[in-house]
Amino acid sequence: MDAVIETAWTVPAVKAALEETSLVREGELTARVLEGADPVLLVTMHEYGDLPIYLSVGGAQIVCSVLLWPVSEQSDTARFNEFLLKAQRVVPLSNFAITTVGDQDVYELMGELSSKTTLQTILIELRTLAENAIDATSLRDTFAA
């Protein structure tokens, strides 16, 4: 069973921990806090083509997400969406969603963690989500064929 920490993470605390830990490989990622109503951590995964991952903390959970592509660009969206709902295991430890950005619906890949999980588990989630986002892109291309 995964160990937990006593105090729940905050976005600034995750940023500071990522910058100080030896668990992050040199040049693997950079993290920047985006201020807003609730701060969000933008983690740029350099080993995955500078893939942006957004990390937020709220209540009992940490949510990590990657914006994929506009729903309007997916051929046969109804069939693709049905496929995603039936094939949850295509991208392990991640879930597909549709979120609205501006006035456009966008596919999103996300993972959730306890806000009291270890930094090592947060790093595993970031790396897994990055890999799954790359896999999801190839799934999009395969599905369109």
Measured distance CA(40)–CA(55) in Å, rounded: 6
88 — pLDDT class (breaks 50, 70, 90):
low
**Residue among 59, 36, 28, 39 at smallest CA distance from 123:** 28
- Could you read off the pLDDT of 125-135 as tens digits, one per residue? 999 999 999 98
Give the ranges where 62-106 is alpha helix by DSSP (H): 77-86
Residue 140's SS3 state is: helix
Give Cα 139 to chain centroid, integer Å.
Answer: 17
The contacts of residue 10 (CB under 8 Å, 6+ apart) are: 57
- What's the pLDDT score for residue 1? 46
Measured distance CA(142)–CA(87) in Å, rounded: 14
CATH architecture of the domain 11-144 equals: 2-Layer Sandwich (3.30)
CB 82 within 8 A of CB 88: no
* Tokens matching residue 104: 């456009």
pTM tops 0.95:
no
Measured distance CA(133)–CA(145) in Å, rounded: 19
The contacts of residue 88 (CB under 8 Å, 6+ apart) are: 95
Place of tokens 């209540």: 59
- Could you read off the pLDDT of 15-72 as tens digits, one per residue? 999 999 999 999 999 999 998 888 999 999 999 999 999 999 998 999 999 999 999 9
Place of tokens 């599905």: 143
